[in-house]
Amino acid sequence: MATTAGRSRSDGAPARRSKAWRPAQRLALSVRSIGGESTGSFARRLADANGIPDQEFWAMFGTPVRKYGAPSDPRYSDGYLNAAALERLAVMAGRQVRELQFALPNLRPHRLLPEQADPVWDWPWDTSGCFLVRVCEVCARIKNTSLLSYLASDTTWQVCWDHRRWLDNRREPGTDAITLDALPEVLDAHQQRVVLERRLGAGGRALFADAYAIVSCWWNVPALNAPVWRNRQHLLARAGRDHLRVAPLVFYPEAVQLAQALAARERQRLRRTLTREGHYRWLDKVAAAMDRWGIPSEPALDAVEHWADQHPPLGKTGDLQAARPMRGRHRRLPLADNAHALNEPLGERSCLPWKLGELLTSELNPAFGGWAVHGRA
């Protein structure tokens, strides 16, 4: 806890009191990490394990930035720390700072509060830049924790590959995790996406965001929906009736396959080996994939061409300093100009305008004033 100290001033004015923080102490009991967990969820589990009320617990590693600030419900928002508060929390949890930052996304450097001498934290009502997704119930049992644990996610959904579940940020009764036993292709697609993003790095994550935006555009236009999407919705039984909730699930395999196709073209482009003829051959392959999915390729291909227009071929005499793909086993793709966007939610990360849940329209361009699903936190 903090103590206060003051120094007298030569002009006789009252001394300004400042806090002197005692060194943090490790708590008696620790809790197992859940990868991707929100800070508030982890802090509540740690406090509960040691029998400390939330208000007292947060006061042990910092003071609130806002007057009358208090820890809130981790189901709906999350808390943020500065570097000094993070160091104290790490000591209390018996972890290294880098361990907490690896496990808890909202403690990573770009999410920390501005640096101050004193440890401080903030718990805003609305958590921008992330969604709170319920932890898989099987993972929770293995970690010996409750279902009131939440992941800090860049999407409204997550996949638990180990336990074959689709997780999301719905909290209404009857919206438990969706089992994927009947949809093995969704699990396969998730594994392929993980491999793609690990192999290509930041460029791979950006390309999946672009593919997700394109397929979201197709989903927003009923005439461009693949028949297999309706079949998957049917297999989801009651959960499949909530079209907006399950949309990312039902088109996930096609989004990943499209991301792989975008990556193939982008690698050629950045190596300056993409020719006009090669571009059209690539478009033919994408159109053939659409035909296999049952998506009308003639109108749907417009969205892909819109993406290609923003990634034009590079001339052989172009900027010699421009980043090129690395060679070797882990052939990462560099980002062109939107590196900052990788810290944004998936729906805001793409260079394309389409977002899942926009007003249904027969036009490929989003309808003016169309709405998008944002979720809370």
For residue range 22-59, what is the model confidence (pLDDT) as tens digits?
999 999 999 999 999 999 999 999 999 999 999 999 99
Note the pLDDT of residue 326. 52
CA–CA distance, 302 with 256 (Å, rounded to integer)? 19
Q: Which amino acid is at 267?
A: R
| Region of 129 on the Ramachandran plot (φ > 0 left; ψ -120 to 50 alpha; else beta) | left
Query: Nearest CA to 259 among 176, 333, 316, 324?
Result: 333
Provide CB contacts within 8 A for 332, sequence distance 6+. Answer: 199, 200, 201, 202, 203, 204, 325, 326
Note the pLDDT of residue 303. 93
Degrees to nearest 5, angle at CA 28 with 23 and 34: 100
CA–CA distance, 283 with 265 (Å, rounded to integer)? 10
Give 110-133 pLDDT, tens digit per residue.
Answer: 999 998 889 999 999 887 778 999
Q: What is the pLDDT along the chain (377 residues), one digit of tens a residue?
A: 555 444 434 444 444 345 789 999 999 999 999 999 999 999 999 999 999 999 999 999 999 999 889 999 999 999 999 999 999 999 999 999 999 999 999 999 999 999 888 999 999 988 777 899 999 999 998 888 876 899 999 999 999 999 999 999 888 776 789 999 999 999 999 999 999 999 999 899 999 999 999 999 999 988 899 999 999 999 998 888 899 899 999 999 999 999 999 999 999 999 999 999 999 999 999 999 999 999 999 889 999 999 999 999 887 654 444 555 555 444 667 665 555 566 788 988 898 988 887 755 555 544 434 434 333 23
CA–CA distance, 376 with 374 (Å, rounded to integer)? 7
CA–CA distance, 28 with 10 (Å, rounded to integer)? 45
Give the three-state DSSP class for 196: helix
Provide CB contacts within 8 A for 103, sequence distance 6+. Answer: 33, 34, 35, 36, 37, 42
CB 374: neighbour CB atoms within 10 A? 15
Instruction: Find the largest Cα–Cα distance for the chain.
Output: 84
Relative orientation angle of helices 243-270 and 297-309, to the nearest 10 degrees? 50
Burial 311-335 (b: 16+ CB within 10 A, else e): bebbeeeeeeeeeebeeeeeebbbb
DSSP H or E stretch at residue 201: none
Give 137-155 pLDDT, tens digit per residue.
Answer: 999 988 888 768 999 999 9
Domain ranges for the chain, please list them.
22-131, 181-348
CA–CA distance, 252 with 245 (Å, rounded to integer)? 13
